[in-house]
Copies of this chain bind each other. A is one copy, B any other.
């Protein structure tokens, strides 16, 4: 069992550098704008799909050749171009060329270690988010990068790999008579961001569940396993914090309505997402405080436990050491020990032993140790 524990820790450690957005050292000295994929590789082949819709039309197709995207660029209908997989830098470069994206933007898209941010390039808004996944089987939290490029009639989304998070949005798009079909790409972007933020709550709930389970253990039975779980949760919180805090600024910027790409009707919705983001941050900070408190309690509990162990040892030693001395005393071989020959010598010693043991017992009872 110890072995499996060790393995857990190791796995927690192994992903540290990936999670931190490090592993980018291979880029040192390269000229800016050079596209190098940084991050884990989640797909072998990039998958590009388009959903093109207006209030009256709806079309969904898979793209195999970048040039197929051409018609969607200029059409007046809203086109959502979704790219799953960013390790194929040539594909990203081709799309970037088609939509006239700045080289530094492309560099950011293929680098999965960005902080959440928003950049206004006048022709388009470039938004980087972190999507949080919680995988039940590995019991681990994972961060994936989502880049959005919001243009006047199109929305490009770049994901690190395939995911089902936006399936509900896709379903809603199929219905002809909903708000999303009547609105432009800005409202679509809002829907995606809203889904990402709502998903944070699912992960926070998962973490809260784990903390609930911990809270009982920590006072009544603090083990090394508990410690490891607290450590794991604390580390998770640190990563979570790192991706969720900058998101606040991103959503706030969007909601201020400074870009012409975002219509006024969408602003109340973006402010609603902002409220949710604040709530998520709030919840996260509260969980952080609780976990920190839990570690303090753990330390106190371990010390409490030590006290209890030492009490047992002290009680045993204090009762038996004098008794052992007593019996040792009358085990001495002096020729001339008168007690040994007394008629009531042995019963007297039995009496003394009982009195000593009882006395100690009463003493500890009074000290509240028993």
Residues of B contacting A169 in the complex (Cβ-Cβ under 8 angstroms): 29
- Docked-complex contact B341 and A346, CB < 8 angstroms: no
| A195 within 8 A of partner (CB) | yes
Contact with B along A158-183 (1 / 0, CB 8 A): 00000000011100100000111000
Residues of B contacting A239 in the complex (Cβ-Cβ under 8 angstroms): 286
Contact with B along A292-314 (1 / 0, CB 8 A): 01011111111111110111111
- Docked-complex contact B313 and A334, CB < 8 angstroms: no
In the complex, the chain B residue whose C-beta lies closest to that of A299 is B300
Interface residues of A in 163-212 (CB under 8 A from B): 167-169, 172, 178-180, 191, 194-195, 198-199, 201-202, 204-205, 208-209, 211-212
Residues of B contacting A17 in the complex (Cβ-Cβ under 8 angstroms): 205, 208-209, 212
| A58 within 8 A of partner (CB) | no
Q: In the bound complex, what is the Cα–Cα distance between A340 and B30 (angstroms)?
A: 87
Residues of B contacting A295 in the complex (Cβ-Cβ under 8 angstroms): 296, 300
Q: How far is the CB of A116 from chain B (nearest CB, A)?
A: 11
Q: In the bound complex, what is the Cα–Cα distance between A114 and B276 (angstroms)?
A: 9
In the complex, the chain B residue whose C-beta lies closest to that of A178 is B31
Contact with B along A310-332 (1 / 0, CB 8 A): 11111011101111110111111
| A70 within 8 A of partner (CB) | no
Q: How far is the CB of A208 from chain B (nearest CB, A)?
A: 5
Please choose the segment from A79-87, A88-96, A147-155, A277-285 that sits at the chain B interface, where 4 or more of its residues have CB less than 8 A away.
A277-285
User: Residue A313 contacts which of B204, B318, B320 (CB distance < 8 angstroms)?
Assistant: B318
Interface residues of A in 4-22 (CB under 8 A from B): 5-6, 9-10, 12-14, 16-17, 20-22
- Docked-complex contact A283 and B21, CB < 8 angstroms: yes
Residues of B contacting A293 in the complex (Cβ-Cβ under 8 angstroms): 231, 234-235, 238
Residues A195 and B28 in contact in the complex (CB < 8 Å), given A205-B23, A275-B115, A295-B296: yes
Q: In the bound complex, what is the Cα–Cα distance between A169 and B172 (angstroms)?
A: 46
Residues A29 and B198 in contact in the complex (CB < 8 Å), given A227-B297, A320-B322: yes
Residues of A within 8 A of B (CB): 2, 5-6, 9-10, 12-14, 16-17, 20-25, 27-32, 102, 104, 113-115, 117, 167-169, 172, 178-180, 191, 194-195, 198-199, 201-202, 204-205, 208-209, 211-213, 215-216, 219-221, 224, 227-228, 230-231, 234-235, 238-239, 242, 268-269, 272, 275, 278-279, 282-283, 286-287, 289-290, 293, 295-307, 309-314, 316-318, 320-325, 327-337, 339-341, 343, 345-346, 349, 368-369
Residues of B contacting A168 in the complex (Cβ-Cβ under 8 angstroms): 28-30
Q: Which 7 A-B pairs have the closest CB atoms?
A: A29-B168, A327-B328, A13-B212, A330-B332, A320-B321, A25-B202, A331-B331
Q: How far is the CB of A57 from chain B (nearest CB, A)?
A: 20
Q: In the bound complex, what is the Cα–Cα distance between A330 and B325 (angstroms)?
A: 12
- Docked-complex contact B306 and A334, CB < 8 angstroms: no
Q: How far is the CB of A349 from chain B (nearest CB, A)?
A: 7
Residues A312 and B318 in contact in the complex (CB < 8 Å), given A208-B17, A328-B327, A331-B328: yes
Q: In the bound complex, what is the Cα–Cα distance between A346 and B22 (angstroms)?
A: 69
Residues of B contacting A14 in the complex (Cβ-Cβ under 8 angstroms): 212
Q: In the bound complex, what is the Cα–Cα distance between A356 and B215 (angstroms)?
A: 37
- Docked-complex contact A22 and B204, CB < 8 angstroms: yes
Q: In the bound complex, what is the Cα–Cα distance between A278 and B20 (angstroms)?
A: 13
